[in-house]
Amino acid sequence: MNYPQRKITRLKYWDYSENAAYFVTICTQDRACFLSDITVGALHEAPAAKLTKAGIIVQNVIESLPERYPDIKIDNYVIMPNHVHLLLQIDRERAIHESPLQEEGKRALLSQAIGYLKMNSSKEIHALYPERKVWQRSYHDHVVRNDNDYQEIWNYIDTNPAKWANDRYALHQM
């Protein structure tokens, strides 16, 4: 049977273990909303993401990444109802260089960390909700180009809950 070719979303010649900042978005399966609820605060308070039990699991795994991968630093993140945005840095000074044209079986550091996040949060969420399909396949990444790009991404993450009401996937409820 001929299956359609998956679109390769990674930069072709970029080493994803390279010392750089990365903006990563991971979406839930079928964009189901179960990681957080967006709450509207009192006057002068911006909307915020209130984590569900599943969202707390994801948060704990995110915050454990630097312990598991000492060459990764989490700069900012938000756990939305149906996706997660991460701004992280790889500090390659301590990292082992891994080529994008990798030896068979080896994955770049960014891919390893995101795989760990998805696998471990899925295991814990499945313990609470056995039928829940947690993550869609793969993830979106963006190599941060400069300080301005970094600041724009930081602001995007911080203001994401306030934009939830306009999100086209906000209606995909649990």
CA 84 to mean position of chain CA atoms:
5
Number of helices (H), then strands (E), in the chain = 3, 6
Answer whether residue 34 shows pLDDT above 70.
yes
More confident residue, 13 or 90: 90
Answer whether residue 74 shows pLDDT above 60.
yes
Q: Does domain 20-166 have CATH number 1.20.1600.10?
A: no
Distance CA 14, CA 31 (A): 29
Answer whether residue 168 shows pLDDT above 90.
no
| Domains of the chain by residue range | 20-166
Per-residue CA distances from 44 to 39, 47, 164 (Å): 13, 10, 17
Distance CA 110, CA 23 (A): 11
- End-to-end C-alpha distance for the chain, whole angstroms: 33
Mean pLDDT of 77-105: 73
Query: 40-62 pLDDT, tens per residue?
Result: 766 677 889 999 999 999 999 99
Answer whether residue 99 shows pLDDT above 60.
no
**Quick one: 16 exposed, middle or buried, by C-beta within 10 A (0-12, 13-18, 19+)?**
buried
Answer whether residue 158 shows pLDDT above 50.
yes
The 3-state DSSP class for residue 172 equals coil
Answer whether residue 103 shows pLDDT above 50.
no
Query: 122-156 pLDDT, tens per residue?
Result: 999 999 999 999 999 999 999 999 999 999 999 99
Answer whether residue 67 shows pLDDT above 50.
yes
Amino acid at residue number 111 = S
